[in-house]
Structure 1
């Protein structure tokens, strides 16, 4: 006693013993300690023997009827211990002075459960059995343990185990700073949060203290009644949804968690209750160790044993493992539910993920204005009850909830100075990928889209379905929700790991077709790779994977920012050239940019669109041409034609567009115009021609591997006659060549070479072309061919026109006017050659019948006459003659200029007919007769020729109208002039 000055001056009865008991740790004499321990059992059984208890709690004893001897226990000793028990159960209702005495007493009793008489008598049977899951004594022990736990929550010192194990940690980390050593109202949550903060900062916490912390965290998760604020603010919700809280072992808390993220407003707990729940989960730090949550532990034990056994508890290791197996078939339903219920709250406070917090605390503070300290509790004065205001209470838009979305925005920031460090970026992406499938785990989306989820997505509850549903209905979402979903979709496009459906359905495909794409993917390269390979056999056979890829392609049409590389490469061009009218979606952006590119090609101007953007535009056009679903304009204008002519065509690989091209003559004007635009795009850049590129893939690799994509068709046209050329590819190349003959706009090489010649010789047709949104059916090409004999064409244009003339001579399908004007004659006179072999036999047949007068159609006669007249330009334009006279041409005319070989051979025929081979000699004589007959039609010499020519011309109505109008003007003018002259004579 001499060594404890505080106990010397005590004069009240029993106060000296109470004082010395309180200072037990300072007493060194073992005999004194043992004596005091024996006295404690007597002192703590009667409140009248406890220092200041009688004085400080007299009013409460009377008000709460805690001083009355129980009638049922009048004969039992130590009955005054009931007073202490009674007051401890009403600790929240006591005045500060009395509450201090009760908490102080509970601290002293914590040394030995014998000192708490009510606890001792109620729990002695259970203590003997020591069976955690068995209740004995009709629940008396549990009732008394709950009472003790409630006292611990109010004053951490009631837990002697925590005080002893963590004394040094509490002191070193100043967890009682500003509270004073004599304060008996330091809440357990304050100490736990302080120690957890120290642990997350890397401070060394003793193993025994860590174990005690885990025990107390588990205690908070087991019994919601140990959280007074939650008990008060959630009482109504517990009564409504959770069977009045009768479920134990943490089930009531999980019931509240379940109803915290319900999208049905009628089944959702109040915001205040949700905040209290968030506080409780943070205090227990349930996101750090799965063992702290008894419901999660019980539900997931088997899953952890089979899949996560290698991971120690703590630092969220096991929880991360469970999240990685969330979509595994082995995952028990109960485990998944409990895990998502915990993750719902972890997702709303980035600090509750210890690995994320450790990696990103500096970045969060620098870039997102987050507090550096994990422990953000403001403790007010004890006199005000020690109330705290958590950050989660800070209004509708909690700052804590915004930190992770903020960090995520900086993962892909264009400025390296503002980008997250690699460790933090990796953790942020890991967290976002783990949570990708569940909108509940994205508070920034759930908060603003709750109404839309209920309205549009109530039936979509599977992994990833809710977010996909919101994306599908993006046009109908409210502004805030639309922005949130748009931001997430843009991020999803960059990092396909955020696309839960894609990750799930394409897991087996990605390593095989896109294994070389660096991971993690941050620029959309993986999605681009999957799109490129979606028509491979492997992906086509994985139907669900292909469906997810195509779904994202459709989604990307809603906004060009959902295509990262396209946005990065083209955003400057879009801002410069596509501002008016402002594009509504990606399809509008593609239409605008492709129009700019097309106009530059047609006008032979320098490209305004940057090279990088044109490269990305090619990828987008290829996707658009591949599937009509990705071409809203074509789908809108051609839906009836597709249903009528292409209903049996397998969708994808450009098949529908190809079908429409082959049925152009049957299309309505609106559809025809759109199809013509698509043909223009593909002819100007064959790299966007899906059918050509896919069918001719091997031929391109073999013959055109070093050729730019814009020149693929030109290259393949030159090589199509090679012996080992793929027949299927040849068919496609020929079809494209046939298309080119229908309109010069579909033949960029011809258009650029002959642009000035067309303006000079075919100006009326050029004007007609500029007003037309479809083909001119070869009229401009024919006009250019007619200039060949006159030798007025420019050199570059002449080369292109000669090439086209030769091609049309070999394949009659490449002469659209012949197909129109000579259809009947071909069917009747040249039926055997309708099965085109590409060797010019059909045209030769028609020319022979022209020579003999066998053609019935005047239109056909005129056109064949023009063909024959055109072929006077050069022997190479006449493939049949060239084949027959090739040897003689080399023999007699080798040194002649181009265009002089036919004249040379005709001269040889006149001078030395026997010097030519018989076949060549015969063909030359036939040609002379044809030239003569054709000349009579092509160069009119009489009124009769003119009349016959006009009557046979397809433009006869127009010519007659012009002729009659001219005659009428002359006649009327003559009348006026005659009358004027007569009047003048009369006046004279």
Structure 2
């Protein structure tokens, strides 16, 4: 059945309103009638008037764009083809007409080239074609597209009972998302979902080039953000992970790299793969390796799944060009803010999330998994993925939203010199976190920040890979002195212990400094020294149970017990403590105290603490007596002078 465009409007005005003919008990349109009306309405949407006007005003353009001229008439293909190539249109009248028609095409999804031919079956199966009568016709506001997008995300996440969308329809869905990448007005569902939020957060952000999307993404977790807008933004972010072109800024930033490394779409490859962000990054990363690193055997192409490819690329992202690297860093920052967007984590840890994190908010899933990482019930593959995320987070505080919030005041206060040198294009290689670690040892951090740094210290003390600065400065020394411990990957602090034991053999000064910093940190908190803590666990329980951890208190307790002849420590604990005393003595010689707090900490943890404190007290007493005596003499002389 086919009616004219004007007849279609009459149908909407006249036929759609008396929907009580299909109502169930005067509540809402019955599902069957609802879908029947939608299919009937669909047949009214093909109008040759659009094409006839385009042929009149785009005469020169049609000669240049042969593929559009060859499109079959009467199905809306011509207009969609012109919209698709609108950036190449130079004819003024034609460009104006296409610009006006763009909003029409995106407000009525069935006018998008071939969309209905590709997705009709999926729309019917998913029941995305329902009609709601009211002020707005929801079909013209992107509801059908949004329904399909959500189904596509469910399928990609391998959710239970997810419908398998046909490949041709997937292409259509991703093409619609891609065409709306530069202007959020064209994503009708997101536009209407986020109208109020746009005014609230991005009032002064000019539309175009994906700027409004970016602004809304940055405010996604604000309390004032509406739930409907947040969900729409999440869906779009998940689509970006499937097709890099859905992100205007990413596609633009990597355009030069695509040309340079010939990462053009392969027409023989299904779009479902060629469009994925992982494929784009793979091509770029492999090309850079060929050009700069000369590793012909290295390639992520041999990995079996898209998520594995993405993992490989994340680990090698430094080989990308600067502008592309910057975008990938921003994507990782987004994933850390919203772990739901991290497909690898959500897939590998799916069962562990159900076991440990059912009550956690979506944005706190990674934090929950980190807290349960060492549980006996933790799946090894999930644990490995969590460790990779921790390594990533420790390279830059901006990738750790919990730390960033807790240390919001401490970071600029103590580490401003590092921030001044920072750029959006490169990670800080753990410099800010290392800065905060030193302030933790000096007991100068705020309470919340101290708690977060303590956790990072305890985790990195067990696994040296979680300490980027140690990795950077001690890579060669670890290979030379601790290769066996590193190869074991037991995550029990053996590599760090090896470096401490070989402190005198370390040749690189920067590495030696990192090891000395580790020793300094362990004096402030015994939990940061897992080997010593394990050796002295029983003694801590017997002699220091009432002492709160942190700030060197438990370490001081053990030192006092070591000096007390009436206390008998476990032989292993006594031996380890004596080793630490020797190390601290050496550290004090090569790295003198930098301030009063550092000096006080060295005194309190010194094996000669009692003697030092006695000498200090004696010196103060002598000074007091001398001062008192001098005061008496001065007073006496002054009196005698007055008497004269």
TM-score normalized by structure 1? 0.48
Deviation sequence 1:374-430 (CA, Å, 0-9, x none)? xxxxxxxxxxxxxxxxxxxxxxxxxxxxxxxxxxxxxxxxxxxxx999999877633
**Structure 2, unaligned stretches of length 5 or more?**
19-27, 132-137, 262-280, 287-298, 595-644
* 2:450 alignment partner in structure 1: 798
Deviation sequence 1:278-298 (CA, Å, 0-9, x none)? xxxxxxxxxxxxxxxxxxxxx
**Which of 361, 370, 375 is the matching residue for 2:14?**
361
* 1:484 alignment partner in structure 2: 101
Deviation sequence 1:192-246 (CA, Å, 0-9, x none)? xxxxxxxxxxxxxxxxxxxxxxxxxxxxxxxxxxxxxxxxxxxxxxxxxxxxxxx
Residues 644 and 630 from structure 1, CA distance in 2 versus in 1: closer, same or farther, beyond 3 angstroms?
same
* 1:588 alignment partner in structure 2: 211
Deviation sequence 1:29-50 (CA, Å, 0-9, x none)? xxxxxxxxxxxxxxxxxxxxxx
Deviation sequence 1:120-144 (CA, Å, 0-9, x none)? xxxxxxxxxxxxxxxxxxxxxxxxx
Deviation at 1:861, TM superposition (A): 0.8
Matched, 1:530 2:151: yes
Matched, 1:874 2:495: no
Matched, 1:446 2:81: no
* 1:461 alignment partner in structure 2: 72
Query: Alignment partner of 1:777: what SS?
Result: coil
Deviation sequence 1:66-121 (CA, Å, 0-9, x none)? xxxxxxxxxxxxxxxxxxxxxxxxxxxxxxxxxxxxxxxxxxxxxxxxxxxxxxxx
* 1:624 alignment partner in structure 2: 240
* 1:645 alignment partner in structure 2: 285
* 1:674 alignment partner in structure 2: 327
Residues 564 and 868 from structure 1, CA distance in 2 versus in 1: closer, same or farther, beyond 3 angstroms?
same
* 2:547 alignment partner in structure 1: 896
Residues 593 and 350 from structure 1, CA distance in 2 versus in 1: closer, same or farther, beyond 3 angstroms?
same
Deviation at 1:939, TM superposition (A): 1.6
Residues 536 and 617 from structure 1, CA distance in 2 versus in 1: closer, same or farther, beyond 3 angstroms?
closer
The range that moved more, 643-652 or 922-931, is 643-652
* 2:412 alignment partner in structure 1: 759
Matched, 1:472 2:84: yes
Matched, 1:813 2:465: yes
* 1:567 alignment partner in structure 2: 191
Matched, 1:826 2:493: no
Deviation at 1:804, TM superposition (A): 0.6
Aligned partners of 1:651, 1:614: CA distance in 2, in Å? 33
Contact 2:540/2:554, CA 8 A, preserved across alignment: yes
Matched, 1:548 2:161: no
Deviation sequence 1:139-166 (CA, Å, 0-9, x none)? xxxxxxxxxxxxxxxxxxxxxxxxxxxx
Deviation at 1:866, TM superposition (A): 0.5
Matched, 1:939 2:592: yes
Aligned partners of 1:697, 1:561: CA distance in 2, in Å? 35
* 2:579 alignment partner in structure 1: 926
Query: Alignment partner of 1:557: what SS?
Result: coil
Aligned partners of 2:216, 2:431: CA distance in 1, in Å? 29
Query: Alignment partner of 2:156: what SS?
Result: coil
Deviation at 1:906, TM superposition (A): 2.3
Quick one: higher RCO (CA 8 Å, sep 6+), 1 or 2? 2
Aligned partners of 1:741, 1:481: CA distance in 2, in Å? 49
**Which of 728, 744, 765 is the matching residue for 2:381?**
728
Residues 912 and 556 from structure 1, CA distance in 2 versus in 1: closer, same or farther, beyond 3 angstroms?
farther
Residues 617 and 758 from structure 1, CA distance in 2 versus in 1: closer, same or farther, beyond 3 angstroms?
same
Residues 940 and 359 from structure 1, CA distance in 2 versus in 1: closer, same or farther, beyond 3 angstroms?
closer
Deviation at 1:874, TM superposition (A): 1.2
Deviation sequence 1:257-305 (CA, Å, 0-9, x none)? xxxxxxxxxxxxxxxxxxxxxxxxxxxxxxxxxxxxxxxxxxxxxxxxx
Aligned partners of 2:157, 2:441: CA distance in 1, in Å? 51
Contact 1:805/1:877, CA 8 A, preserved across alignment: yes
Contact 1:627/1:652, CA 8 A, preserved across alignment: no
Matched, 1:501 2:113: no
**Structure 1, unaligned stretches of length 5 or more?**
1-319, 321-342, 367-418, 942-988
Deviation at 1:870, TM superposition (A): 0.8
Query: Alignment partner of 1:457: what SS?
Result: helix
Deviation sequence 1:494-528 (CA, Å, 0-9, x none)? x9999313424647xx73xx46x683584244213
Aligned partners of 1:686, 1:890: CA distance in 2, in Å? 38
Deviation at 1:544, TM superposition (A): 3.0
Aligned partners of 2:447, 2:502: CA distance in 1, in Å? 33
Contact 2:394/2:466, CA 8 A, preserved across alignment: yes
The range that moved more, 749-758 or 616-625, is 616-625
Query: Alignment partner of 2:211: what SS?
Result: helix
Deviation at 1:580, TM superposition (A): 5.0
**Which of 535, 551, 558 is the matching residue for 1:884?**
535
Q: How many equivalent residue pairs?
A: 521
Deviation sequence 1:716-767 (CA, Å, 0-9, x none)? 1111222232333222221121111112111121122122222332232233
Contact 1:737/1:814, CA 8 A, preserved across alignment: yes
Deviation sequence 1:574-621 (CA, Å, 0-9, x none)? 345546562225x33212223455xxx8xxxx7665554334323322
Residues 839 and 933 from structure 1, CA distance in 2 versus in 1: closer, same or farther, beyond 3 angstroms?
same
Deviation at 1:868, TM superposition (A): 1.0
Task: Give the greater-gyration-radius structure (CA).
Answer: 1
Deviation at 1:642, TM superposition (A): 4.2
Deviation at 1:923, TM superposition (A): 1.9
Contact 1:653/1:691, CA 8 A, preserved across alignment: no
Contact 1:626/1:655, CA 8 A, preserved across alignment: no
Residues 505 and 825 from structure 1, CA distance in 2 versus in 1: closer, same or farther, beyond 3 angstroms?
farther
Deviation at 1:782, TM superposition (A): 0.9
Residues 729 and 563 from structure 1, CA distance in 2 versus in 1: closer, same or farther, beyond 3 angstroms?
farther
* 1:381 alignment partner in structure 2: none
Deviation at 1:350, TM superposition (A): 1.8
Aligned partners of 1:731, 1:930: CA distance in 2, in Å? 33
Residues 678 and 811 from structure 1, CA distance in 2 versus in 1: closer, same or farther, beyond 3 angstroms?
same
* 1:131 alignment partner in structure 2: none
Deviation at 1:869, TM superposition (A): 0.6
Residues 574 and 875 from structure 1, CA distance in 2 versus in 1: closer, same or farther, beyond 3 angstroms?
same
Query: Alignment partner of 1:623: what SS?
Result: helix
**Which of 418, 433, 452 is the matching residue for 1:781?**
433
Contact 2:473/2:510, CA 8 A, preserved across alignment: yes
Aligned partners of 1:796, 1:425: CA distance in 2, in Å? 55
Deviation at 1:871, TM superposition (A): 1.2
Contact 1:627/1:656, CA 8 A, preserved across alignment: no
Matched, 1:429 2:38: yes
Contact 2:493/2:530, CA 8 A, preserved across alignment: yes
* 1:690 alignment partner in structure 2: 343
Deviation at 1:651, TM superposition (A): 11
TM-score normalized by structure 2? 0.71
Contact 1:625/1:654, CA 8 A, preserved across alignment: no
Aligned partners of 2:490, 2:32: CA distance in 1, in Å? 66
Contact 1:619/1:688, CA 8 A, preserved across alignment: no
Residues 913 and 933 from structure 1, CA distance in 2 versus in 1: closer, same or farther, beyond 3 angstroms?
farther
